[in-house]
Amino acid sequence: MTSDNHCASPTSAFRLLVTGGGTGGHTYPALTAVRTLQARLAAQGGVLEVMWVGKADSLESRVAAAEGIPFAAVATGKIRRSRNPLKLISPANVADMSRVPLGILQARRVISGFRPDVVLATGGYVAVPVGVAATRLCHVPLVVHEQTVRLGLANKTLAGAATRVAVSSDSTLSLLPEAVRSATVVTGNPVRPEVFTGDADKAIDALSLHGFGRRLPTVYVTGGAQGSQQINEAVSAILPWLLDHANVIHQCGPDNVEGLSRRVSRLPAQAAARYHLTGYVGSELPDVMALADVVISRSGAGTIAELTALGKASVLIPLATSAGNEQAHNAGQLEEAGAAVTVLGDVTSDRLHEAVAPLLTDPARRVAMAERARAYGKPDAADRLVDVILSAASG
């Protein structure tokens, strides 16, 4: 453990300060790393003390509270992106960025009080003041973890001063400056352990899918917790054909159930029995994923990590408005590897049909894609990241 800086812990417990958040893509990998490190140390008779630093009244603050992790809030600033450099100097950007120095001072106070052995930053604007305070003011080892193919703005800002940079894809290495590349390790993106505990038969019972044809492949459609109007419309348009070739679990978002239910009511009874419409999939998700042969979804970093760790054939429909077009980059990497099919731009029913049809009509093709996805995945990513954290702390 680090012992030569004035912010490091003098106690025997391993102290980890975590920063990052704003979205689940930044928050949940950090949480998985915390849990994995805690289990690792406990198995060795050690103790982990954690402090999470983030934005007040945020996803990360709620996650930390639910996990019983002490939380400290700091000021942060958000850069509103624009292709026009002049628009970056907007009043909103200037006002937000003026808050960063305050955030750095607040972070320094937290770090000095907590005295961590290492700081883990997983991205999001709040990571910048904390990472700067850790490296420039407190001289604490910093590990930066990037979930997507291309470094986000926050991680790009911190990478040059980080002790280690952990990335989720081998493809990221060629995109990094040489000085950063030498400190970079490919770990993968941590996946929640419960994702690997799925049981297909439990999904059948929990969701009452007894009308499903077990000789048919099962397609899981999801647009995220709130659903996706784009995906819902395209799937609904090809639903009669889809149900001739597959069972379908369609997670459409709570606000979309009523409208889609009216369309389902017009399906023949036999086809309707092979279709399960739901607003939200909660604790059953690991079982649903175990049952699914093909997944139609967005291509956020967390989704990609889970699909590849589990080895699932997929049709990916990137969110066009994702920061830095990161979802398209994520999906493109998988498609190049033959591990997914990507539908970009105008997502029509014809284009979705064209993408999904070969996976349903050709079992060998579906299996081959699933195997390529599994080869791309890193199910041990959390353990790899913990190795990097411990290595950074020990110097």
At 108 the pLDDT is 98
**Rg from Cα positions in the chain:** 22
Residue 331's CB is within 10 A of a number of other CB atoms, namely 28
At 79 the pLDDT is 55
Span 2-48, pLDDT tens digits: 444 556 554 579 999 999 999 899 999 999 999 999 999 999 999 99
At 87 the pLDDT is 53
At 126 the pLDDT is 95
Residue 190 has pLDDT above 70, yes or no: yes
Reported for 282-285, long-range contacts at CB under 8 A and 24+ positions apart, including other chains, are 284/202, 284/203, 284/206, 284/207, 285/195, 285/198
Residue 332 has pLDDT above 70, yes or no: yes
Residue 82 has pLDDT above 50, yes or no: no
At 395 the pLDDT is 80
At 1 the pLDDT is 44
Residue 371 has pLDDT above 80, yes or no: yes
Q: Percent of the chain having pLDDT more than 90?
A: 82
CB 163 within 8 A of CB 144: no
Mean pLDDT, rounded, of the chain: 91
Residue with more model confidence, 93 or 259: 259
- Residue 318 confidence class, pLDDT cut points 50, 70, 90: very high
Domains and CATH numbers, the chain: 14-191+380-394 (3.40.50.2000), 193-376 (3.40.50.2000)
Residue 323 has pLDDT above 90, yes or no: no
Span 338-354, pLDDT tens digits: 999 999 988 999 999 99
At 12 the pLDDT is 78
At 263 the pLDDT is 81
Span 86-104, pLDDT tens digits: 554 556 555 566 668 999 9
At 90 the pLDDT is 59
- Please enumerate in sequence order all residues whose Cβ is within 8 A of that of 15, keeping only pairs 6 or more positions apart, or say none: 9, 48, 49, 50, 51, 114, 115, 116, 117
Mean pLDDT of all residues in 299-325: 91
- Residue 373 confidence class, pLDDT cut points 50, 70, 90: very high
Mean pLDDT of all residues in 104-125: 97
What pTM does this model have? 0.87
**Distance between CA 109 and CA 327 in Å, rounded?**
36
Mean pLDDT of all residues in 289-298: 98
- Please enumerate in sequence order all residues whose Cβ is within 8 A of that of 191, keeping only pairs 6 or more positions apart, or say none: 32, 302, 305, 306, 309, 379, 381, 382
Residue 281 has pLDDT above 50, yes or no: yes
